[in-house]
Amino acid sequence: MLIIFSLIILLFSVVIHEISHGSVAYALGDSTAKDAGRLTLNPLKHLDPFGSIILPLLLLLFTGGQGPIFGWARPVPINPYNFRDQKWGIVKVAIAGPAANFLLAIIFGLLIRFSFFPSQFSSFFPDVVFINLLLGLFNLVPISPLDGFNFFFNILPNTFWRIKIILQQYGIFILIFFIFFGLRFLGPLIFYLYKLIVGS
């Protein structure tokens, strides 16, 4: 039952992540995501066969349900040429997804910290905090096609162009390697931020 709740929390967390990208793009003048019907909380509009279904199940299988439940939704379509802010538009859209996850983690963490709800109603709140911290931090890793790639390589000087090209060419392989072997290194930072927000 706890695993099912974790999967539901993950699903809606990645949906909100993608809606945030699309909403900021729309605010900047790009209606591509809205026209595609992606600015909706309906999870069926956002499911990615690998990221939303296969990867979480593989992680459950390999960790026996003891490891982090993780995945992603289908990226919302955007057209940066429609942005009114051509210089920083892509940076704003890139950071919107992780920012939404961090905001969710903070909201539910503060609800835990100040005990606004009886324990029987808030037993799943820690999972909301943990999963959203994981999603937010993971997506800030500067590997293509993660948000961190678009964020950092659009604010860094052009002297990093060689690294950018390599990460674009081999990004998916580096990403898969990182998911299975590097994700654990985010653990200490996640637990630190969790205690900082929740207060225990």
Write out pLDDT tens, residues 148-171.
Answer: 999 999 888 888 888 888 888 888
Cα–Cα dist 184/67, whole Å:
9
Cα–Cα dist 130/38, whole Å:
25
Q: Could you give the C-alpha distances from 51 to 1, 116, 163, 171, 176, in angstroms and in order?
A: 21, 33, 25, 15, 11
pTM of the model: 0.88
Task: Identify the CA nearest to 128 among candidates 1, 7, 45.
Answer: 7
Residue 119's pLDDT is 65
Cα–Cα dist 43/11, whole Å:
7
Range of the domain at 141: 2-198
Residues serving a catalytic function are: 18
Q: Specify the DSSP element, H or E, that contains 101.
A: helix 89-113
**The total number of structural domains that make up the chain:** 1
Q: Is the dihedral of CA 4, 11, 164, 176 positive or negative?
A: positive
DSSP character string of 171-189: HHHHHHHHHHHTGGGGHHH
Tokens of 140: 């800030």
Which residue carries 């659009």 as its tokens? 154
Residue 144 has pLDDT above 80, yes or no: yes
Burial degree of 199 (CB within 10 A; 0-12, 13-18, 19+): exposed
Residue 8's pLDDT is 85
Which tens digit of pLDDT belongs to each residue from 44-74? 889 888 888 887 777 777 766 666 667 788 8
Q: Return the higher-pLDDT residue of 169 and 91.
A: 91
